[in-house]
Amino acid sequence: MSTAEPVLKPDFSARRKHFIFTDEHEQLRESIRAFAIKELAPHAAEWEKTTFPDSVFRRMGELGFLGLDKPEEYGGEGGDYYSSLVLAEEIVNAQSGGLAMGLAVHTDMAMPPILAFGTEEQKQEWVVPAIKGEKILCLGITEPDAGSDVSGIKTRAVRDGGEYVINGSKTYITNGHRADVIVLVTKTDPDAGYDGFTLFLVPMDAPGVVREKRLEKLGMHASDTALLAFQDVRVPETAVLGQVGKGFYHIMWELQGERLIGAAGCVAGAQRCFEQTLKYAQERTAFGRQIGKFQVIRHKFAEMATKIESARQLTYTTAWRFQNGEYPVREISMAKLHAARVAVEVADECIQIHGGAGYMVEYGVERVWRDMRLNRIGAGTDEIMLDVIGRSYGL
């Protein structure tokens, strides 16, 4: 007598967990999600008009969310890199791209170089209160005349006895109006090529730091974006972050973590938009049936899901390599490029599936499109990502 063959049926609603994540990551995921839905999302619409308040940093500091992957000795949670991916993914439930960006600049752009290259005093002065949410960080690379071409920046830091005098300007600086300190990229030796750059930690209340315009934008309205001027700003030599002359390499390293976190945020943002639109397609009817039952709409979902999944797998596998000590610049560039494109394509398709509702502010999909559009520009444009990838093959 033969035993009956088990009948295999796909279970599309089964709970999935990628192998990089543990049960602890999943618990963290739940608590960040609950916090974002309960305490942040209800204010998202209002913060589009006012930008989100500094109290969000303090609250997230209290909850331990600003130092998830940071060392315990500085007040962090001592988690792995994946825990910061979890934050980048779950914070999309706040429904505010601008808020997610402001936080990511603080935790994953400005803080890592201080931890990696800073002195013990610098870490105590800036990282410890930043993890508590009591001090806010920003990062200044871009200038009015140089963005993609970082080597073309003009902000100069000139040594004068035991001090440096800084002159120049930075633009599009996220958190620039609220920050307590800026990780500032300067040129200290214009004749030394890539070896002529130095990073500084400049307190934003130092005499000569001018917070100029609050810049208006297409999206990310909940974030503040500043044009900054540095006019004869004097800082002691203890404000140098990392090695004098090695700032270019330090900031290129920083950009890798920033890009990967950005990719994770894009995947999660696209997924959230997909789910919201799926619900809409199951409720909205036309010509006597749910619009999701039209094959053309069903296929749009299939295309979107496939794109999101490919971006997710690329991001996770690259994160796994990063966490395991590799420096996978090519794959990080691929993940950043692909995830940003996917997020914009998905948001655009979600507007289409919503029809006229998609064009209305009320449904929030148009905001996702506007917010996501930045990701093809910020932290290195699509074209720069393509160039990094192409050059990695010796071309």
Ligand X SMILES: Cc1cc2nc3c(=O)[nH]c(=O)nc-3n(C[C@H](O)[C@H](O)[C@H](O)COP(=O)(O)OP(=O)(O)OC[C@H]3O[C@@H](n4cnc5c(N)ncnc54)[C@H](O)[C@@H]3O)c2cc1C
Single-letter amino acid, residue 270: A
With CB under 6 A as the contact rule, the residue among 51, 122, 142, 186 that binds ligand X is: 142
**Is residue 251 near ligand X by the rule CB under 6 A?**
no
| Member of 85, 304, 365, 374 binding ligand X (CB under 6 A) | 374
Residue 116 has a CB neighbour count (10 Å cut-off) of 13
> Contacts with ligand X in 209-238 (CB under 6 A)?
217, 220, 225
When binding is defined by CB under 6 A, the residue of 260, 384, 388, 389 that contacts ligand X is 384
Tell me how crowded residue 291 is: count the other CB atoms within 10 A of its CB: 19
Rounded to the nearest whole angstrom, what is the least distance from the CB of residue 215 to ligand X in the complex?
8
Torsion-angle region of 245 (φ positive above 0: left; ψ -120 to 50: alpha; else: beta)? left
Q: Which of 148, 231, 238, 243 binds ligand X (CB under 6 A)?
A: 148
Smallest separation, CB 208 to ligand X (Å): 19
CA–CA dist 59, 367 (Å, integer): 25
Applying CB under 6 A, does 141 fall inside the site for ligand X? Answer: yes
Nearer to ligand X among residue 37 and residue 377 (C-beta): 377
140 near ligand X, judged by CB under 6 A: yes
Q: Is 257 in the site for ligand X (CB under 6 A)?
A: no
Q: Which is nearer to ligand X, 67 or 219 (CB)?
A: 219
DSSP state of 109: I
| Phi and psi angles of residue 282, each rounded to the nearest 5 degrees, phi first | -85, -20
Q: Note if 383 is an active site residue.
A: no
Closer residue to ligand X (CB): 140 or 328: 140
Residues 65-104 binding ligand X (CB under 6 A) are none
Amino acid at position 177, single letter: H
CB burial string 125-159: b at 16+ within 10 A, e below: bbbbbbbbbebbbbbbbbbeebbeebeebebbbee
Q: Do 225 and 301 form a contact (C-beta atoms < 8 A)?
A: no
Q: How far is the CB of 287 from ligand X (least distance, A)?
A: 41
Closer by beta carbon to ligand X, 284 or else 370:
370
Distance CA 376, CA 108 (A): 18
Secondary structure (H, E, C), 121-157: HHHHHHHHHHHHCCCCEEEECCECCECCCHHHCCCEE
Question: Would you say 223 and 174 are in contact if contact means Cβ atoms under 8 Å apart?
Answer: yes
Helix, coil or strand: residue 84: helix
Catalytic residue among 258, 331, 349, 366: 258
Biggest distance spanned by C-alpha atoms of the chain: 93
Site for ligand X in 156-215 (CB under 6 A): 172-174
Contact stretch for ligand X (CB under 6 A) within 154-162, 290-298, 336-344, 379-387:
379-387
Q: Which residues are catalytic, by number?
A: 258
Binding site for ligand X (CB under 6 A): 105, 139-142, 147-148, 172-174, 217, 220, 225, 374, 377-381, 383-384, 387
